[in-house]
Structure 1
């Protein structure tokens, strides 16, 4: 991209320049996003059918002179390059419809509304007209038209009615309008140009922020740069200590300096890793880098109001938000480069605007966006302002092993009968239409309950077909019903509920039941939205849960949907210390045959780490009660050899609690902490503060594999000198894991490994990775489970674990560790 080149979508240009007034995104935004596509498709199909019939009638008419051209184009891509005041503006977007009737050309912009159509007139929304006029201008220029019509089609999602507003414009008049838009955007264009000149110059002069590359670090950085340059994807297993964040961000920034990418998205699963990315950019800043980064924080965590009510009636920051937000954007961009949560809150308070919407606007102008996976991949919340357009973005996906299960969650959805029943009682005397809609859904789900029974010997053909595929699965999971196909007949009922709820929610926001209805409304919208992605990698299951019924659309294999998301970026870099086995992660994360893979060795000396395997104990579920006292003795022996801080990881809270209680009884004088299942962020910080350097007394913390303390935390030096890992970490046997196993077995893949073994061992590797964080660190890892000596599990060990030692009895731990610690 040239420095004086400004690429922007029609929608972003119009909204940025012309927006004003209040921020009001109560419930209407999601409804329109959900129903918008269907409304577009419905209206576009009507035009196509209409023109097709009319053309056929005319062709059959003998009076050929009556034949006129009738064409309709839906979602027509338009792109226009305009030189203006030393800039090359590249404006692009898609016109909803182009209607051609003889010499008459109309650009149609389709908008969904929930308000009565009689309240919608030509002054309803100036931005809607502006967007359609820009499309009309581009089309008129490219087709040498002197005049063109602009039409707004408003579709009411409640009553399935449409209203059309139409105006005619000369191309010269549209040219004046378009030039006025560019003139109003000129300030921002100038800022972008000047900033890019400064940024690019600084990137060229910025050196790697450390004196030397660690082992493997340069190799990773070169691979990332090459992947971006070639517009490919790469999956990298890079052990702890290589410095993955700097080794991916630095080459991505360098690629930006060579105009190989417009924007970097650094995607993470956890808050702590977002902080690491911010610190890494600060390090490069100290080396002279000029780069604007924005960190996105979840709306409920950054909102100034407890209820996150985005409407001018309840929130002073929403009232007049758009009148002030551009001033706030201008000031923060002039003064700040690293725009983190604290900076966003400071400026949002100063200008009295919504901090979340402010951060989204800043992301449009930032060079690097640090955010959660959801913003790139989740179909319910992803950033459409970026990922619905064809742009040169690079995705850096940190801790990518987390994305498999997170993606399953993103592409799955569920609803519960009980909530419909409870709301039905609330709405009985308030709104009869909503009451009726809820009653029908409740009755439908009662019928679903009948499918969940232990007796599977049904005579119906449908049930027999299901027995073939899911009989054994349902037999081992009583009170469940699983089928491959979606339940199509529930969606008219759900859409009716959505439709009936909209107007009442608009007019009764103070009444009892409003919040309850609003919450269920959103959940139903999400359920319908996810149903649009339903494919062969889904199942529908029903679960009878005591006094409730759960209906879930369960995505078993998210790879196809992730692949579609990845296609929207120029290059994607997936990296983690535990992408083992890497082919599994490449498969599950949407990789292709042409994508690269890279495995790097640990930069740390194996001499500073001792790995012991106690394989004479079984921690399988049926043997756990017998293992408590032996495990307590193993823990005592492991921590007895050197004073310091240790962590013991368990596969479940119950197992952890049972062993902890026995440990406390037998060794009450040893300082022991335990992870609580519902720790707040402040409690987690207090927990970690207990890991003090140069601790004169031994402290042992009991935690859960896969929990908040088993990955993402960085206890360097003497803050943690040992990890004791109980079991191979297999997820608890449950319906969903069994369905995943069944699916991958059926598809000639490794069902047990995909559903249980690989996710379990990933937790083990992550927990073990907490011990050695720097070249100076020294520590021990004790693995307790007979399965750690089985070849299928040992094959998943990192190469640097090959120097492990097997322990036959408890005393062997003490003997080995005394020898190890004796060296230091």
Structure 2
């Protein structure tokens, strides 16, 4: 039904009735941490008379369209002639302080459920019950009111009438959008080699509601090949929203540019870029409360007007657009952007907003199986990113760092923090930990004391907002709540990792294999398209990114002429750690031969900063006149931009950088801005305890531990680094791989098709002759 507008009961209530300030200085997280368990305890305390988690749907018909409301009542209780809608709210607030009018939004949501239930069951009256469940004491406080169907209908229609202005805008906008989608053609005269194939595969995958894993080299036009068919799917009613997900801020420029091209061709879609709170905050300091931020004060009184303004006047809503309208209406730009996203057709944002259990956009994912399309750019990055999303740690120093605050006036908090400290010390002593240790079994003795600290801290955080150490305590509180939430996910895919560092004890729940959690997150949408130039090998990425055996995969060849790339392999030099000292001079000679063959700008990529610095010093000593710049480990965004601005034709620049770092992917230096790259080593991640945990896990489960922990991630870094050289059909460039392992069958099997003509070189003279012929 093209004229159907869906909204959840919760979103309807919050949207229409919200007023007042943003205040995230402290809001109890216990409901998030313990809410599900609290609901289950209340629900399970009843017998057959209690029907739990009841899905309720209702359509409201207007002239041209229908609003479909959907939600889930916590319970429907039947006691004789009484039918009761039960809404459960978990809390740590003293039940004595909770009165009947404690939160009108709680009543509002339940009243909507009550009205829908009355309609569907021919009831003239119904009872609405709010059950407040105290998490620590497990006591309950219940409020119950009786309503007639007419009372509830009056309230319900008040809400929907308020919403109808927005619904009508959405509906009529949908018609304009769909007509423009129907009329728009692919924006370029011709498809590049492989581009049509990827677009067709994307369209078919979305139609069938499946996943696609696409290795598509630079130059195919991955963004347009995935975005265009996804937009067509929305126009046909197959999809409702596109989430274009990126790993880094810099890579958002490409989908923004692609949507601009389509908009110039006549497409009408609402596109929003979501920027992290820290990067878009209009306040001097990120403090989201009415005392410290004028934008937070009264935000909800003004935000609906701001949304209407921006929706009526803008299609492409970037960071700067949001800030501009935020200042105009005096609303928080970040919260404003999240609200606008509800009305957008395409949301460009970080991976976190779909996958991270702490920050994913719950407003979109309340109901399962929505027709969302997830486009996951540079998806090789999601392997390690997702491990961190689903992992968490606490450390002893953060516990002891705040403990003395409570010694005099808050002994229960002081004592509870001391308990965590004691258990951390005991674990260290019992396991006789020396520096680092891990085990597959969880150490659950820590969980209750952490939950206890969360509980006793909440009243303090409510009352002491002006305390000088408030932010420090709040940070620990959020860290502990995250720890508890992640602990509920702990299973055979996790290990408990303990590290002693500078007399501190770090206790980590480490998600070694996040594939099943990603798979669950992907179920929130209809279809997912994973694409990158470097999904090598494909089966490894499908395994770790939550793929299934029946998911689609495609491997495309480079659209550029092989003659444009001169690829050489120096496979007689070892760059292994034990051999580096004696091969520095060989590396330097190869660099000299490579860069002196033709004047221009070059990148030289290394596996580590130390290795890079040592080679840099020797090269400079022998070549004082070279224009060399070197990546610093702590560069600001401005410094990164300045670094890249040096790549201009005629600069004869030699840039030293680290593989897997900020300059090895996501940057375009076309034409003469970059004519060659040297890759020193095979990109293996630094050998460390955490990587060895991954190795042990995949050795045990798949007998491919070293490959999964080191070889495959390393080779992806190599491919990304080499991919900086040829960025357009006109580009010509040279790449030199230095490491003896590139001569082995194992590594040659990981070479993309366009690398199969690589030339092996043993001497600098040989390299010089090959480069002279090429240039």
TM-score of the superposition, structure 2-length normalised?
A: 0.98
Tell me by how many angstroms 1:71 deviates.
Answer: 1.2
Separation in structure 2 between the aligned mates of residue 716 and residue 433 of structure 1, nearest angstrom: 63
Q: Is residue 2:774 matched to residue 1:809?
A: no
Separation in structure 2 between the aligned mates of residue 386 and residue 74 of structure 1, nearest angstrom: 23
Give the structure 2 partner of residue 116 of structure 1: 94
Once the two structures are superposed, the pairs formed by residues 306-317 of structure 1 within 5 Å of their partners are: 306-317=284-295
Tell me by how many angstroms 1:452 deviates.
Answer: 5.0
| 1:278-300 Cα deviation digits (max 9, x unpaired) | 11100000110000011111111
RMSD: 1.3
| 1:182-212 Cα deviation digits (max 9, x unpaired) | 1111100110011001000001111111111
Q: Secondary structure at the match of 1:755?
A: helix
CA contact (8 A) 1:444 1:490 kept: yes
Q: Secondary structure at the match of 1:28?
A: coil
Give the structure 1 partner of residue 621 of structure 2: 665
Separation in structure 2 between the aligned mates of residue 359 and residue 122 of structure 1, nearest angstrom: 34
Q: Which moved more, 1:797-806 or 1:170-179?
A: 170-179
CA contact (8 A) 1:295 1:370 kept: yes
Tell me by how many angstroms 1:574 deviates.
Answer: 0.5
Q: Which moved more, 1:515-524 or 1:417-426?
A: 417-426
| 1:116-159 Cα deviation digits (max 9, x unpaired) | 33332232222111100111111122122111111112234455
Of residues 546, 571, 575, the one that matches 1:619 is: 575
CA contact (8 A) 2:25 2:465 kept: no
Separation in structure 2 between the aligned mates of residue 690 and residue 161 of structure 1, nearest angstrom: 66
Of residues 358, 375, 379, the one that matches 1:396 is: 375
Separation in structure 1 between the aligned mates of residue 652 and residue 385 of structure 2, nearest angstrom: 36
Separation in structure 2 between the aligned mates of residue 686 and residue 448 of structure 1, nearest angstrom: 48
Of residues 697, 702, 708, the one that matches 1:748 is: 702
Separation in structure 1 between the aligned mates of residue 448 and residue 531 of structure 2, nearest angstrom: 43
Q: Which moved more, 1:495-504 or 1:82-91?
A: 82-91
Q: Which moved more, 1:435-444 or 1:18-27?
A: 18-27
CA contact (8 A) 1:738 1:755 kept: yes
| 1:513-564 Cα deviation digits (max 9, x unpaired) | 2121111111111111111111111111211223111111111111111111
| 1:258-314 Cα deviation digits (max 9, x unpaired) | 011010000010111111111110000011000001111111111123442211122
Separation in structure 2 between the aligned mates of residue 700 and residue 160 of structure 1, nearest angstrom: 66
Q: Secondary structure at the match of 1:27?
A: coil
Structure 1, unaligned runs of 5 or more: 52-69, 455-477
| 1:668-693 Cα deviation digits (max 9, x unpaired) | 2101011111111111000000001x
Give the structure 2 partner of residue 589 of structure 1: 545
Q: Is residue 2:518 matched to residue 1:519?
A: no
Q: Secondary structure at the match of 2:58?
A: strand
Q: Secondary structure at the match of 2:50?
A: strand
Give the structure 2 partner of residue 440 of structure 1: 419
Q: Which moved more, 1:298-307 or 1:711-720?
A: 298-307
Give the structure 2 partner of residue 651 of structure 1: 607
Give the structure 1 partner of residue 25 of structure 2: 26
Separation in structure 2 between the aligned mates of residue 419 and residue 44 of structure 1, nearest angstrom: 37
Separation in structure 2 between the aligned mates of residue 439 and residue 571 of structure 1, nearest angstrom: 48
Give the structure 2 partner of residue 462 of structure 1: none
Q: Which moved more, 1:517-526 or 1:419-428?
A: 419-428
CA contact (8 A) 2:30 2:91 kept: no
Give the structure 2 partner of residue 683 of structure 1: 639
Structure 2, unaligned runs of 5 or more: none
Of residues 512, 521, 529, the one that matches 1:565 is: 521
Of residues 733, 743, 748, the one that matches 2:687 is: 733
Separation in structure 2 between the aligned mates of residue 160 and residue 231 of structure 1, nearest angstrom: 43
Give the structure 1 partner of residue 72 of structure 2: 94
Tell me by how many angstroms 1:431 deviates.
Answer: 2.1
Give the structure 2 partner of residue 270 of structure 1: 248
Of residues 498, 514, 526, the one that matches 2:454 is: 498
Give the structure 2 partner of residue 457 of structure 1: none
Q: Secondary structure at the match of 2:85?
A: strand
Separation in structure 1 between the aligned mates of residue 298 and residue 328 of structure 2, nearest angstrom: 14
Give the structure 1 partner of residue 440 of structure 2: 484
Separation in structure 2 between the aligned mates of residue 762 and residue 805 of structure 1, nearest angstrom: 21
Give the structure 1 partner of residue 258 of structure 2: 280
Of residues 653, 667, 670, the one that matches 1:716 is: 670
Q: Which moved more, 1:619-628 or 1:775-784?
A: 619-628
Once the two structures are superposed, the pairs formed by residues 445-460 of structure 1 within 5 Å of their partners are: 445-453=424-432
Give the structure 2 partner of residue 79 of structure 1: 57
Q: Secondary structure at the match of 1:122?
A: coil
| 1:1-21 Cα deviation digits (max 9, x unpaired) | 41x211111101111111111
Tell me by how many angstroms 1:26 deviates.
Answer: 2.2
Separation in structure 2 between the aligned mates of residue 428 and residue 793 of structure 1, nearest angstrom: 60
Give the structure 1 partner of residue 230 of structure 2: 252
Once the two structures are superposed, the pairs formed by residues 98-497 of structure 1 within 5 Å of their partners are: 98-157=76-135, 159-390=137-368, 391-453=370-432, 479-497=435-453
Separation in structure 1 between the aligned mates of residue 440 and residue 352 of structure 2, nearest angstrom: 26
Separation in structure 1 between the aligned mates of residue 97 and residue 734 of structure 2, nearest angstrom: 71
CA contact (8 A) 1:216 1:600 kept: yes
**How many residues are treated as equivalent by the alignment?**
774
Q: Is residue 2:45 matched to residue 1:42?
A: no
Q: Secondary structure at the match of 2:374?
A: strand
Tell me by how many angstroms 1:430 deviates.
Answer: 4.3
Q: Which moved more, 1:724-733 or 1:100-109?
A: 100-109
Of residues 486, 489, 496, the one that matches 1:533 is: 489
| 1:373-427 Cα deviation digits (max 9, x unpaired) | 0110111111111122231100000001000101100111111111112222333
Separation in structure 1 between the aligned mates of residue 400 and residue 298 of structure 2, nearest angstrom: 39
| 1:629-672 Cα deviation digits (max 9, x unpaired) | 21111111111011111001111111111111221222121010
Q: Secondary structure at the match of 1:387?
A: coil
CA contact (8 A) 1:417 1:550 kept: yes
Q: Is residue 2:8 matched to residue 1:9?
A: yes
CA contact (8 A) 1:241 1:603 kept: yes
CA contact (8 A) 1:452 1:543 kept: no
Separation in structure 2 between the aligned mates of residue 673 and residue 427 of structure 1, nearest angstrom: 51
Separation in structure 1 between the aligned mates of residue 28 and residue 302 of structure 2, nearest angstrom: 21
Q: Secondary structure at the match of 2:546?
A: coil
| 1:672-716 Cα deviation digits (max 9, x unpaired) | 011111111111000000001x21x42100100000000011111
